[in-house]
Amino acid sequence: MSRPVLALVASAAGGVERWLVDELARPLADRGWRLAITLTPTAARWLEPRLPDLAATTDLPVRWTSRLPTEPKPHPVPDAFAFAPATSNSLAKLALGLGDNQAITALCEGLGRRAPLVVMPRVSADQSAHPAFGGHLDVLISAGVVLATDPGAVVRELDRVVPFGLFRKNGDNTP
């Protein structure tokens, strides 16, 4: 059986540049996931000094831009998704289906086909008090999204919602 593919999507919440590699990407790779990592444009700027370390956790390219129509898809179709951290901005866009960058586009497609998706929101009190925030969370939860509070919980929830033993052969997952 080929390794299951996890789309790991990160947006620009404070601290992501400090913990994404060591607390999430590496533990997930160690757990056996083949990581298809996509960053929002802002997260890519913040994580620039750590990009070599992030790239070392996967054989697939780390993405933050869209491909040209003439280029092949750099990532295979993921078996599951982790969106961590999720800013209030990107979480709202996911709930509304606004795929205006590659990271949210990937998530919107995954949500559309109801692939397993664990989301770790990281928002301030003011951001969560925005009148639309609760509605966005409700949309995601009603679509089956699982919420996690910290990177360790993301790893645990993925184990729970997509037990490795249930993985089908990832046959048409190219490249």
Please give the residue ranges that form the binding site for ligand FMN (CB under 6 A).
11-14, 40, 42-43, 87-90, 122-123, 127
What is the per-residue burial (b if ≥16 Cβ within 10 Å, else e) of 158-170? beeebeeeebeeb
| Shortest distance, position 3 Cβ to ligand FMN, whole Å | 28
- 40 vs 58, beta carbon nearer ligand FMN: 40
Dihedral sign of CA atoms 152, 23, 11, 130 in order: positive
| Shortest distance, position 9 Cβ to ligand FMN, whole Å | 10
- 34 vs 88, beta carbon nearer ligand FMN: 88
- 4 vs 121, beta carbon nearer ligand FMN: 121
122 closest CA partner among 168, 97, 156, 91: 91
Sequence-distant (≥ 6) Cβ neighbours of residue 40 within 8 angstroms: 9, 10, 11, 12, 64, 87, 90, 101, 103, 104
| Shortest distance, position 143 Cβ to ligand FMN, whole Å | 19
- 105 vs 127, beta carbon nearer ligand FMN: 127
| Shortest distance, position 90 Cβ to ligand FMN, whole Å | 4
